[in-house]
């Protein structure tokens, strides 16, 4: 049975009418349509790494994201600022690095960290809020801010109400079938590996299908009412539990799945801090279960791709595309077995790197791939710039518009990602064109371990060069880049 929970209810004309009444700025915006305001369609997947056809991964079937890459600029080297849902989303949606938002964990973990960025920066203007304040209709469908998946599906979870004019919380059959889901830790579905090939439901009955339908309904309304819009659509897959209709799993036969190979450091788990994200239950994985997990993740990715395609097709069908910038990304990467890790919260390349596509109408580099390093905090100034909105002075990111017109443009020399290990200290990592350098510190802030990888010669990150005397000057130079990021308040 299809269930959706919408707040405020789309079906409630009274609620919608009251809403417009409460927003006189919006009525003014709707009648002054020259010059046309550039809309934003912000599409984000949850826990999606760069296993996509357009990112050159053989066998991946993601035709809709690939079509988006062909019509926009695809960023080969985009990095999140914190490889965990709430810290990453709080960062790029406020345009601030994690130490500035104070959100360094998901809610519920104890410690000197904020659950919500407004605890530390109450007056901040978020990216969607900036559009809202300037007369765009700001709407969210699904997961944008932190949202416990799957148990919070159908709720607003840890939302930021000042960001939105309207929110929609889809809830599909995947939320109703928990008893059928296989989990490495029975009864747990979010923080552990779990999956289900659903052999009964249709695509549109799953949460991402419901979300796509509601997003299309909103686009139709924006078209009908000539509303400039910032529409953010947060898909739930491929976050665990990897649940999708069975046909998507069948695209990835398990006998064709090759398991990652491990380096000596991976087997020994040195330095230990780099591997603390490993989940004890993952030691129960057999090779057969590893292949099943990869199949389920990739199948869920293709399912999500199909639902994303429905939304983009609707934008095209409604004639809105020529005045809408489309962004596609994920909140962080995901291991899926490499380095012996399966999920997120590491500072290896696979956890820090995200897919990013920006398709802006008329951008000269559309259809090209940009190799420059970029960060998710760059999204805020870029989208504000594209729509001609004055942006707050405190933003930490860089306006990427020059890259959208020239794919060779170098946006920045380094990208930063950090992680917190509860009471066990922090990790800070910098990626340059060639190197990834990571420092791990204990609870007192003393650096206890370091990693240096040559990402050109050793993309598998098998050889830690941090202690190599020949790299001493390089380590010193890269370490200096981390100092202001660590010191940011």
Size of the site for Ca ion (CB under 5 A): 4
**Among the listed residues 96, 94, 233, the one whose alpha carbon sits nearest the alpha carbon of residue 166:** 233
User: Is 386:402 a contact under the CB 8 Å cutoff?
Assistant: no
Q: How many CA atoms lie within 13 A of 458 on its CB side?
A: 13
Query: Least distance from C-beta 38 to Ca ion, angstroms?
Result: 28
Q: Is 349 in the site for Ca ion (CB under 5 A)?
A: no
**What does the alpha-carbon distance between residue 42 and residue 273 come to, in Å, rounded to a whole number?**
34
The DSSP output letter for 83 is S
What is the contact mask toward Ca ion in residues 57 to 96, using x (rule: CB under 5 A)? ----------------------------x-----------
Residue with Cβ nearer Ca ion (209 or 333): 333
Query: Least distance from C-beta 157 to Ca ion, angstroms?
Result: 12
**Among the listed residues 427, 383, 421, 389, the one whose alpha carbon sits nearest the alpha carbon of residue 404:** 383
Residue with Cβ nearer Ca ion (244 or 404): 244
Query: Least distance from C-beta 146 to Ca ion, angstroms?
Result: 9
Query: Least distance from C-beta 324 to Ca ion, angstroms?
Result: 25
Query: Least distance from C-beta 49 to Ca ion, angstroms?
Result: 11
- Beta strand 182-183 with 324-330 is unpaired
What is the contact mask toward Ca ion in residues 285 to 324, using x (rule: CB under 5 A)? ----------------------------------------
Q: Is 47 in the site for Ca ion (CB under 5 A)?
A: yes
Residue 15's contacts (CB-CB under 8 Å, 6 or more residues apart) are 8, 9
Query: Least distance from C-beta 233 to Ca ion, angstroms?
Result: 15
252: left (phi over 0), alpha (psi -120 to 50) or beta: beta
- Beta strand 435-441 with 426-431 is antiparallel
* E strands present in 80-172: 137-142, 166-171
**Among the listed residues 138, 140, 141, the one whose alpha carbon sits nearest the alpha carbon of residue 209:** 141
**Packing angle between helix 63-71 and helix 287-317, nearest 10 degrees?**
50
Query: Least distance from C-beta 145 to Ca ion, angstroms?
Result: 11
Residue 326's contacts (CB-CB under 8 Å, 6 or more residues apart) are 41, 43, 68, 72, 312, 315, 357, 358, 359
Other beta carbons within 10 Å of 390: 9
**What does the alpha-carbon distance between residue 183 and residue 192 come to, in Å, rounded to a whole number?**
7
Identified binder of Ca ion from the candidate list 26, 46, 242, 245, rule CB under 5 A? 46
Residue with Cβ nearer Ca ion (80 or 411): 80
Query: Least distance from C-beta 83 to Ca ion, angstroms?
Result: 8
Three-class SS of residue 278?
A: coil
**Among the listed residues 176, 174, 341, the one whose alpha carbon sits nearest the alpha carbon of residue 243:** 174
The DSSP output letter for 471 is G
Structure tokens at 273: 């801090």
Only segment of 240-248, 254-262, 326-334, 428-436 that touches Ca ion (CB under 5 A) = 326-334
What is the contact mask toward Ca ion in residues 3 to 42, using x (rule: CB under 5 A)? ----------------------------------------
Q: Is 160 in the site for Ca ion (CB under 5 A)?
A: no
Residue with Cβ nearer Ca ion (37 or 239): 239
Q: Is 331 in the site for Ca ion (CB under 5 A)?
A: yes
- What b/e readout covers 104-130, taking b as 16+ CB neighbours within 10 angstroms? bbbeeeeeebbbbbbebbeebbbbbbb
Query: Least distance from C-beta 334 to Ca ion, angstroms?
Result: 8
Q: Is 152 in the site for Ca ion (CB under 5 A)?
A: no
Residue with Cβ nearer Ca ion (72 or 238): 238
Query: Least distance from C-beta 130 to Ca ion, angstroms?
Result: 23
Binding site for Ca ion (CB under 5 A): 46-47, 85, 331
């Amino acid at each position: 049975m299809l269930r959706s929970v919408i707040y405020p209810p789309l079906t409630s004309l009274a609620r919608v009418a009251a809403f417009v009444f409460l927003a006189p700025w919006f009525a003014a915006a709707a009648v002054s349509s020259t010059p046309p305001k550039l809309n934003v369609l912000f599409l984000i997947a949850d826990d999606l790494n760069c296993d996509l056809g357009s990112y050159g991964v053989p066998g991946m079937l993601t035709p809709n994201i690939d079509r988006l890459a062909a019509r926009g600029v695809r960023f080969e080297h985009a990095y999140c600022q914190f490889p965990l849902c709430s810290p990453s989303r709080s960062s790029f949606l406020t345009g601030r690095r994690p130490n500035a938002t104070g959100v360094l964990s998901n809610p519920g973990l104890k410690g000197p960290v904020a659950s919500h960025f407004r605890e530390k920066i109450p007056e901040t203007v978020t990216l969607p809020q900036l559009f809202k304040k300037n007369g765009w209709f700001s709407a969210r469908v699904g997961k944008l801010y932190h949202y416990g998946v799957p148990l919070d599906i159908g709720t607003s979870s840890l939302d930021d109400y000042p960001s939105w004019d309207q929110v929609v919380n889809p809830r599909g059959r995947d939320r109703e079938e928990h008893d059928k889901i296989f989990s490495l830790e029975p009864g747990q579905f979010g923080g552990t590996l779990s999956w289900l090939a659903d052999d009964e439901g249709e695509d549109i009955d799953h949460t991402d299908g419901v979300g796509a339908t509601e997003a299309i309904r909103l686009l139709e309304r924006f078209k009908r009412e000539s509303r400039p819009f910032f529409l953010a659509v947060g898909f739930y897959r491929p976050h665990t539990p990897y649940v999708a209709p069975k046909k998507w799993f069948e695209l990835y036969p398990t006998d064709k799945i090759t398991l990652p190979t491990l380096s000596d450091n991976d087997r020994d788990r040195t330095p230990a801090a780099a591997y603390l994200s490993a989940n004890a239950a993952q030691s129960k994985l057999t090779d057969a279960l590893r292949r099943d997990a990869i199949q389920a993740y990739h199948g869920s990715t293709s399912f999500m791709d199909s639902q994303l395609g429905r939304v983009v097709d609707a934008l095209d069908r409604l004639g809105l595309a020529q005045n809408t910038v489309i962004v596609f990304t994920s909140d962080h990467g995901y291991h899926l077995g490499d380095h012996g890790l399966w999920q997120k919260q590491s500072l290896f390349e696979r956890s820090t790197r995200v897919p990013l596509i920006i398709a802006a109408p008329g951008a000269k580099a559309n259809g090209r791939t940009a190799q420059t390093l970029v960060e998710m905090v760059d999204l805020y100034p870029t989208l504000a710039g594209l729509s001609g909105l004055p942006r707050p002075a405190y933003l930490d990111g860089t306006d990427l518009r020059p890259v959208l017109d020239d794919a060779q443009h170098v946006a920045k020399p380094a990208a930063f990602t950090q992680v917190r290990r509860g009471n066990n200290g922090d990790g800070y990592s910098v990626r340059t064109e060639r190197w990834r350098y990571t420092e791990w510190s204990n609870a007192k802030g003393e650096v206890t371990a370091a990693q240096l990888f040559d990402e050109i010669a050793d993309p598998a990150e098998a050889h830690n060069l941090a202690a190599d005397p020949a790299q001493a000057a390089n380590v010193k130079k890269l370490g200096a880049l981390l100092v202001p990021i660590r010191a940011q308040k």
